[in-house]
Structure 1
Amino acid sequence: MSTRYDLSGRHAVVTGGAGGLGRGIARALIEAGASVSLWDQNANSLAQAVAELGRRASQRQLDIRDVNAVEAAADAAISDHGRIDILVNNAGVLGEVRPIWETTPENFQRVLQVNLFGTYLVTRAAVGRMLRQEPRRSPDGHLLRGHVVNIASIQGKEGMAMAAAYSASKAGLIALTKSVAKETAKEGIIVTAVTPAAAETAMAQEISAERRADILSRIPMARFVEVAEVARLVLWLSSDDCSFSTGGIFDLSGGRATY
């Protein structure tokens, strides 16, 4: 991982931090000098992740759909570290892979609750606290209070058959990114999103070989994105070098979509 970015003294929160993608992003932030709090529902995976990432990693077990749990976690981050400089909204679930008329309302609601409503709750809590913290100056002299990076999906741009809930949740996340970016543009809080194609994570293992082949056929580079490639883009979006790209949606799809 590149050490170009110096995030020393910064504190980051990564939701879904115990999973493969969240862990990879956390590792990149730590290697750049930040401390990272991993928020996840899976206690065993959290413990493993913190043991793997070392002393600058900490953990918080919570369900991001629970407003009280989210508020308590945000308070704890401020109490322990003084600030939240970086928020990476990475937590998400895939849901059922089937046509909409075969899906269950309970599953559709769960996907939207985790991927969109949970991200809203975490963003609300973190941004509310970022607004109250003293800004830093970027290398160009601009005031910055924090960075929010949302992990959306290429499916949020173009939709995908048999993934209505997931696609809709990620499309909503793209719109949420743009709205919050406009609200915080004058406050020194940079809000962006990444739209990766499928990555080699546990979520990718949930799909069938047939579904995997279908997804792969849509990617001109003919491969899945590497976790480290996502982490490198998140690293730039979390740094002071990203000081004017608020509201930006950054493609990471191997050419599947470039708009």
Structure 2
Amino acid sequence: MSVSFDFEDTVALVTGASGALGSAVVEQFRATGAAVAAIDVIAPDDEDSLLDPDEGTTFYEADLTNEDSVAETIDAVVEDHGRIDHLANIAGTWRGGDPIEETDLSTFELVFDVNLKTMFLTSKHALPHLQESGGAIVSVSARSSLEGGEGDGPYRASKAGVRLLTETIAEENRGTVRANAVMPSVLDTPMNREMMEPSDDWVDPGNVAATIAVLCSDATVVTSGAAVPVYGEA
């Protein structure tokens, strides 16, 4: 069964746009007619970027852990496009391998800054515009946020924070802005293939991007505050 979306005349803001999942989300919105504002600290011409700039996409280089940078970038997006209808908080990172007593404060701060602070700041400054358009937010939590585990406590805690902040935004904006999260397990990305033995059970980022589109679409107008599993067999 094929699924299609029509996001013509809407504007999608995607953070972490140069990464594997972010670039897939950009492509998903772009293919369904949305104008895309793609944000990342890594520019498209960087060797680490997976983003393919194309017509319909405007790239903004910004440090989303800095509130002034976030505010200026959101203002620029609205100045360029006139509105924001969808916010996909994709920016994130993973660090792990050490028990808590051996985890550096710098690692803890990095994980919380990239995973949770960026989601908070971007949502904070985009919300007034999303309230005007009756838009939607989808953020990336993680399956591992549902329980504690060995070696990646800060990551799990930061992603649990994303999930709880999503529920808060949904409650505070009931009837105006929908806010949901997706919970991946292991995505099939170049970074994961470098760190681990690849598996056929890993999830294609494109499939997660399609779920994000569903949560921004009219198909889920009664869904807000949800944390949606997107881990398939992984």
TM-score interval, normalised by the smaller of the two chains: over 0.9
Is the Cα contact below 8 Å between 1:3 and 1:32 reproduced in 2? no
- Find the counterpart in structure 1 of residue 228 from structure 2: 250
Amino acid aligned to 2:211: L
Amino acid aligned to 1:100: I
Find the partner of 1:239 among 217, 220, 225. Answer: 217
Does 2:80 correspond to 1:80?
yes
Q: Distance in 2 between matches of 1:9 and 1:112?
A: 34
- Find the counterpart in structure 1 of residue 168 from structure 2: 179
Q: Which moved more, 1:157-166 or 1:78-87?
A: 157-166
**Counterparts of residues 160-239 of structure 1 (less than 5 Å):** 160-186=149-175, 188-205=176-193, 207-209=195-197, 223-239=201-217
- Find the counterpart in structure 1 of residue 92 from structure 2: 92
Deviations, residues 51-75 of structure 1 (Å, cap 9, x unaligned)? x241111111111110000000100
Is the Cα contact below 8 Å between 1:3 and 1:31 reproduced in 2? no
Amino acid aligned to 2:9: G
Q: Which runs of 5+ in 2 are unaligned?
A: none
Find the partner of 2:143 among 143, 151, 154. Answer: 154
Q: Distance in 1 between matches of 2:148 and 2:193?
A: 20
Query: Aligned-pair distance for 1:40?
Result: 0.5
Q: Which runs of 5+ in 1 are unaligned?
A: 136-144, 217-221
Amino acid aligned to 2:215: L
Query: Aligned-pair distance for 1:205?
Result: 3.9
Q: Distance in 2 between matches of 1:151 and 1:206?
A: 22
- Find the counterpart in structure 2 of residue 139 from structure 1: none
Is the Cα contact below 8 Å between 2:42 and 2:49 reproduced in 1? no
What SS does the corresponding residue of 1:185 show, helix, strand or coil?
coil
| TM-score, scaled relative to structure 1 | 0.84
Query: Aligned-pair distance for 1:245?
Result: 0.5
Q: Distance in 2 between matches of 1:57 and 1:47?
A: 19
Amino acid aligned to 1:181: A
Is the Cα contact below 8 Å between 2:130 and 2:136 reproduced in 1? no
Sort the Cα spacing of 1:151 and 1:98 in 2 relative to 1 into closer, same or farther, 3 A. same
Q: How many residues align?
A: 233
What SS does the corresponding residue of 2:158 show, helix, strand or coil?
helix
What SS does the corresponding residue of 1:72 show, helix, strand or coil?
helix
Q: Distance in 2 between matches of 1:224 and 1:18?
A: 20
